[in-house]
Structure 1
Amino acid sequence: MSTRSKALNAYRHGLRATRIAFQNDTEILSAARAKMRSGMASPPNPKLTAEEQIQHLEDVAVFLRRNLVQGKKVEGANMKQPRYHLNIHGDTELGDNEAIADPTAKVKTNLKARPFKCSDKKQ
């Protein structure tokens, strides 16, 4: 596969990741896509090789899909504490607090998304 086609695939993966991560926030979605477009036109770190830049874009796309979750404050009259609705989707990486509770524990790097159920989710 040529470097050009790898770069286009990485760019497409980045665009899909922004669509997943920012699907209900058009302002942030368009800003993220504009930043990605400008990064493709003039790479932010010209010292990196083309392959390293492509890998960086792929890593950013994976991070956006797995680790970024948007929250929206839920307004309500009877709430003493604010509540937030989180946009958790199928690609979201849900880990446990094992690494936080035990600093010597090894962090699992290949966690899969688990179904998320929220009893007080309002639609």
Structure 2
Amino acid sequence: MSSRLKALDAYRHGLRATRIAFQNDTKVLLAARAKMRSGMVSPPNPKLTTEEQVQHLEDVAVFLRRNLVQGQKVNDSDMKESRYHLNIHKDTELGDNETVPDPTARVKTSFKARPFKCSDRKH
């Protein structure tokens, strides 16, 4: 595969990752896509080879899909403390605090992301 096609694939992966990570935040979604587009036109680090730049974009896409979770404050006049709804999706990497000191450790957990339900709130 040519480097141009690899770059286009990485760009598409990045766009998909921004759609997943910033799904309900149009302002941030458009800003992330504009930044990605400007990075494709004029790479931020011209010292890197084309392959390294493509790999960097793929790594950014993976990071956005797996590690970025947006939260939205839930406003309810009945609640005394603030609560947040987190945008956890099927690609979100869930782990435990045991692996925080060792970033190279791979965690195999059985955590499943589940959508927030109104019945989860305490009344």
TM-score w.r.t. structure 1 length? 0.86
Give the drift of 1:77: 1.4
1:115 counterpart letter in structure 2 = K
Displacement over 3 Å in runs of 4+? 109-114
Q: In structure 2, how many angstroms separate the alpha carbons of the residues matched to 1:20 and 1:94?
A: 16
Specify the alignment match of 2:84 in structure 1: 84
Q: In structure 2, how many angstroms separate the alpha carbons of the residues matched to 1:80 and 1:74?
A: 12
Q: In structure 2, how many angstroms separate the alpha carbons of the residues matched to 1:34 and 1:54?
A: 17
Task: Report if aligned partners of 2:99, 2:107 keep a CA contact under 8 Å in 1.
Answer: no
Specify the alignment match of 1:67 in structure 2: 67
SS of residue in 2 equivalent to 1:72: strand
Task: Report if aligned partners of 1:74, 1:83 keep a CA contact under 8 Å in 2.
Answer: yes
Q: In structure 2, how many angstroms separate the alpha carbons of the residues matched to 1:51 and 1:110?
A: 29
CA 1:10–1:106: 2 relative to 1, 3 Å? closer
Q: In structure 2, how many angstroms separate the alpha carbons of the residues matched to 1:106 and 1:34?
A: 30
Deviations 1:21-69 (A, max 9, x none): 0010111000000000000000000000000000000000000000000
Gaps in structure 2 of 5+ consecutive residues: none
SS of residue in 2 equivalent to 1:73: strand
What is the percent sequence identity of the aligned residues? Answer: 71
Specify the alignment match of 2:51 in structure 1: 51
Specify the alignment match of 2:105 in structure 1: 108
Gaps in structure 1 of 5+ consecutive residues: none
Q: In structure 2, how many angstroms separate the alpha carbons of the residues matched to 1:110 and 1:74?
A: 31
Aligned length: 118
2:31 counterpart letter in structure 1 = A
Root-mean-square deviation (CA, aligned residues, Å) is 2.1
Give the drift of 1:111: 5.2
Specify the alignment match of 1:38 in structure 2: 38
